[in-house]
Structure 1
Amino acid sequence: MAVLSLLVLFFSNLCFPVLNVATASNIEFQGRALLQWKMALKTQELLDTWTSKTSPCNWTGITCRYNGHRMPTITRVQLGQLGLEGELETLNFSALPSLRVLNLSNNHVHGSIPTCISALSKLTILDLSANNLTGIIPSELGNLTRLKTLWLFENQISGSIPLSFGKLKNLNSLDISAISLVGSIPLVFGNLTKLNVLYLWGNDLDGSIPCDIGNLVNLRDFEISDNQITGHIPHSIRNLTKLETFYLSGNNIKGSIPGEVGNLMNLRDFNIYDNQMTCPIPDCIRNLTKLESLHLGKNNINGSIPSEIGNLLNLRDFGLYENQITSSIPPRIGNLTKLESFYLGNNNINGFIPSEIGNLVNLKYFGLYKNQITGSIPPSLGSLKCLIYLNLDNNHLSGILPIEISNLTNLMYLQLSYNNLSDNLPPDLAKGGLLQYLGLSYNNFQGPIPL
């Protein structure tokens, strides 16, 4: 009898059921499969409500519904953030034909994703994120054609994105970021026209952004940062008019910002930081009036800062540092009264600091270091009462440090080194008492340092 019991336990863990459904109700059959999976976990005590003495419908994380014969069946297994430790291979997926939702996120599930997970043909949500899964993404996941949400992010999965994903035409949200995927973004992604969210960041994907990405007309969030993507931003992005976030940072993308970006009038966050982009910022940027964050730093963008930037009245963060920007800061920058961070360091910007900078009353971080700025520091800078960080070093600034700088009572970092500033420092320079760093080297200041 002991041998027989072991055989039943072994075979019940395969991708097909061996229990006779005719001798047990659906819910009993499903409950037995889940109890067998529990027995294989290293953290069984976390599922203390899972016992044969109560209906599975009353267990932690289990949701049931009644079918047409008024018999309950399990439709949801939601066990996220419980600290469960075990493998998926020990779960008999074939015993759960009515399952719509499987959520095991933020646990310690390890091993690979078994191919027999494709038995969950009615599944609409699969969330295995933030675990310790290894191996590859099985192509059989492409058979789960009812899936609307597929989240596998933050695991140790490797290999490429299966071409079978092209069959998941009902997907709204796909997050396979922060794992170790290689290869290119497959062209079949153009089939996923219902996608709202596509997160691929933090992998080792290469190749270019496929032109078929323009088919994803419902896409709101697209993030492929921190990969090895090359090529250009495709002109087909003009079709992504619902796009709100577009993150491409930390890749090897070349070429210019295409004029078609001007079509993305719902864009809130545009980040192409740390690529190999060239050419000037296009004038079409003026259309992106909903932009809150614009990060173009660490590229080879040249030309001037277009005055059309002044149209972006909702902009909070603007990063353009480490480029080849020339010309001066346009006075219309003073329109951006919501701006909180403004980084222009390490360019070839010339001209004066416009007095309109004083309109940026919400500014906390202002970096203008390593440029060719001349003239004096405008007294209007003293209006920036929220300013925490001010870095103007390595320019050609001259004249005195205006006494209005003493109004910056929240200032913690002030770097003025490598300029031609002179005269005495304002006696109340540090009156806010928060100043932690003051850089004054290689100027012509006189008198005591008021610290």
Structure 2
Amino acid sequence: MKKNNFHGPLPAQLANLHRVKYIQLSFNGFYGEIPSWFGSFPKLQYLSLRHNNFTGEIPADMFEGLPRLQVLYLAKDGLSGKIPMSLFKCKELQDISLANNKLEGILPKEIKNLTMLRTLQLHNNLIEGIIPRQIGDLLNLEILNLSTNLFRGHLPPTIGNLTHLRIIRLSNNSVAGHLPVTLGNLRDLQVLDLAYNDFSGTLSSSDINFLSSLANCNDLRFLGFGGNPLVTGYLPASIGNLSVSLQYFYVSGCNIGGSIPGEIGNLTNLVILDLSRNNLVGSIPTTFTRLKHIQRLHMSSNFLRGPLQIDIGNWNVAEHLDFSRNQLSGTIPDNVCDRNNNLRYLALSDNQLEGILPLSLINCSELVALNVAGNHLSDTFPHWLGMLPKLRVLILRSNKFHGSIQDSNATSSFSKLQMLDLSLLRGSV
């Protein structure tokens, strides 16, 4: 009875279905409290009530009479209170999702009883305390999502025992301690998201290094540990040994310094690379040109110097490029948009760039926002940008543009423009 637009409290007549094995009532409009008679189905194996409008707590004794339960989905139901201890008596459980509620309390050590568990999804709740070391007893676990809670303490090293883990999401908590090298034991790992916590540690070229250890994870697609300002050091050359399958790499908002190793160009399947808000110095390696699948590149708020010597025009699918708030010099590459018809956002603001706006920008038919503020560009007002059919934001302030803003050419109409910033120009307009 999924997605049937049912409303109201759950009918009490359901309590008479003592032999039922499968209950699917998700994506409806049921409301009120979850009735305790759900615990009277001794043969029940599958229970899904997710995406309804329930309120209140999960009944404390609800799971006492569900010894055969294998799948429990109560996500996005408006539930509050603690996770009932009776849940940890359901030793045949394989999949649990209690995500997107208002559950509080702790994740108890009794989690170790659920040795058949494959999926544990508790994200977007108010669960606090430490992640119990007994979680390392769940040897069949494949997906662990504890993100956006109030967890603190250290990530237990026993998590390295869970060799079947494919997905770990712990972002937006207060978990501290060193980034654990034991995660490198998880050869099947595909997603590792540790962003926005209190992790610490020094990245370096040491053989015993968090990043180096992940070279064992041949299927890794997503790696994020940004938003951990206590992570310091520099990106080692061994970053190039990460799996070529890596597509998403988020390291923004740490305190990583040093230069960017050219070996990062070995990660040729990267789709999103975010190194913003660090202390990176030196030039952007020319090996970035190899990243032909890149769609979003965030390099802002570092101390990067020198000219842009990467062949941006070689990135056929790039949509969002942000090099702002650095110390880049030289000119904007002439071929910035030679072959790229997907570019929507280009930010080069607050650098030391000179010269003119490259005419190849006229090829960026999807361009929505162009920000080159705070440079040393010297050019006539670029009327020709008005031919870009989707341009909404044009920020040219604090440069040396000059000449008339108005243009007699009717094709240069800026028909979609919503924001134009010409403040603090040093030329006459």
Please give the range of the TM-score, normalised by the shorter of the 2 chains. Answer: 0.7 to 0.9
- 2:177 and 2:49 map into 1 onto residues whose CA distance is 37
Aligned to 2:221: 268
2:71 to 135, 149, 152: 149
Deviation of 1:234 (Å): 4.3
- Identity rate, percent: 34
Does structure 1 conserve the Cα–Cα contact (< 8 Å) formed by 2:55 and 2:80? yes
- 2:60 and 2:68 map into 1 onto residues whose CA distance is 15
- 1:376 and 1:99 map into 2 onto residues whose CA distance is 71
Q: Structure 2 vs 1, CA of residues 236 and 338 (structure 1 numbering), >3 Å: closer, same or farther?
A: farther
Pair 1:435-2:356 in alignment: no
Does structure 2 conserve the Cα–Cα contact (< 8 Å) formed by 1:232 and 1:254? yes
Q: Structure 2 vs 1, CA of residues 224 and 385 (structure 1 numbering), >3 Å: closer, same or farther?
A: same
Is the deviation greater in 247-256 or in 168-177?
Answer: 247-256
- 1:285 and 1:233 map into 2 onto residues whose CA distance is 26
Pair 1:160-2:82 in alignment: yes
Does structure 1 conserve the Cα–Cα contact (< 8 Å) formed by 2:287 and 2:310? no
Pair 1:359-2:314 in alignment: yes
Other structure's SS at 2:174 match: coil
Deviation of 1:362 (Å): 0.8
Q: Which amino acid counterpart does residue 177 of structure 1 have in structure 2?
A: A
Q: Which amino acid counterpart does residue 387 of structure 2 have in structure 1?
A: K
Deviation of 1:243 (Å): 4.1
In terms of fraction of residues, the more helix-rich structure is 1
1:415 to 349, 358, 371: 371
What TM-score, normalized by structure 2, do the two folds share? 0.76
Aligned to 2:268: 313
Aligned to 1:206: 128
Deviation of 1:271 (Å): 4.1
- 1:406 and 1:216 map into 2 onto residues whose CA distance is 56
- 2:90 and 2:311 map into 1 onto residues whose CA distance is 52
Pair 1:391-2:347 in alignment: yes
Aligned to 2:427: none
Q: Which amino acid counterpart does residue 138 of structure 1 have in structure 2?
A: P
What TM-score, normalized by structure 1, do the two folds share? 0.72
Aligned to 1:137: 58
1:350 to 285, 293, 305: 305
- 1:342 and 1:196 map into 2 onto residues whose CA distance is 34
Does structure 2 conserve the Cα–Cα contact (< 8 Å) formed by 1:161 and 1:186? no
- 2:114 and 2:230 map into 1 onto residues whose CA distance is 28
- 2:83 and 2:111 map into 1 onto residues whose CA distance is 10
Does structure 1 conserve the Cα–Cα contact (< 8 Å) formed by 2:262 and 2:285? yes
Other structure's SS at 2:23 match: strand
Other structure's SS at 2:301 match: coil
- 1:159 and 1:430 map into 2 onto residues whose CA distance is 57
Is the deviation greater in 240-249 or in 172-181?
Answer: 240-249
Does structure 2 conserve the Cα–Cα contact (< 8 Å) formed by 1:196 and 1:219? yes
Q: Which amino acid counterpart does residue 199 of structure 1 have in structure 2?
A: Q
Pair 1:230-2:230 in alignment: no
Deviation of 1:236 (Å): 4.1
Other structure's SS at 1:207 match: strand
Does structure 1 conserve the Cα–Cα contact (< 8 Å) formed by 2:80 and 2:102? yes
Q: Structure 2 vs 1, CA of residues 335 and 258 (structure 1 numbering), >3 Å: closer, same or farther?
A: farther
Other structure's SS at 2:77 match: coil
- 2:235 and 2:155 map into 1 onto residues whose CA distance is 14
Matched positions, count:
372
Q: Gaps spanning 5+ residues in structure 2: where?
A: 185-213, 406-411, 415-429
Aligned to 1:124: 45
Aligned to 1:113: 34
Pair 1:371-2:292 in alignment: no
Q: Which amino acid counterpart does residue 82 of structure 2 have in structure 1?
A: S
Q: Structure 2 vs 1, CA of residues 362 and 233 (structure 1 numbering), >3 Å: closer, same or farther?
A: farther
Deviation of 1:199 (Å): 1.9
Other structure's SS at 1:278 match: strand
Does structure 2 conserve the Cα–Cα contact (< 8 Å) formed by 1:409 and 1:430? no
Does structure 2 conserve the Cα–Cα contact (< 8 Å) formed by 1:293 and 1:317? yes
Deviation of 1:101 (Å): 0.9
Q: Structure 2 vs 1, CA of residues 438 and 337 (structure 1 numbering), >3 Å: closer, same or farther?
A: same
Q: Which is higher, the Rg of structure 1 or of structure 2?
A: 1
- 1:237 and 1:330 map into 2 onto residues whose CA distance is 36
1:336 to 291, 295, 298: 291
Is the deviation greater in 429-438 or in 83-92?
Answer: 83-92
Deviation of 1:307 (Å): 3.8
Q: Which amino acid counterpart does residue 357 of structure 2 have in structure 1?
A: L
Deviation of 1:338 (Å): 1.5
Does structure 2 conserve the Cα–Cα contact (< 8 Å) formed by 1:364 and 1:387? yes
- 1:178 and 1:147 map into 2 onto residues whose CA distance is 21
Aligned to 2:208: none
Other structure's SS at 1:390 match: strand
- 2:97 and 2:152 map into 1 onto residues whose CA distance is 21
Is the deviation greater in 215-224 or in 373-382?
Answer: 215-224
Q: Structure 2 vs 1, CA of residues 337 and 203 (structure 1 numbering), >3 Å: closer, same or farther?
A: same
Deviation of 1:390 (Å): 0.7
- 1:43-62, aligned counterparts within 5 Å? none
Aligned to 2:6: 84
- 1:18-97, aligned counterparts within 5 Å? 79-88=1-10, 90-91=12-13, 93=15, 95-97=16-18
Does structure 1 conserve the Cα–Cα contact (< 8 Å) formed by 2:239 and 2:264? no
Q: Structure 2 vs 1, CA of residues 338 and 169 (structure 1 numbering), >3 Å: closer, same or farther?
A: farther
- 2:283 and 2:60 map into 1 onto residues whose CA distance is 54
Q: Gaps spanning 5+ residues in structure 1: where?
A: 1-78
1:187 to 109, 126, 133: 109
Q: Which amino acid counterpart does residue 35 of structure 2 have in structure 1?
A: P
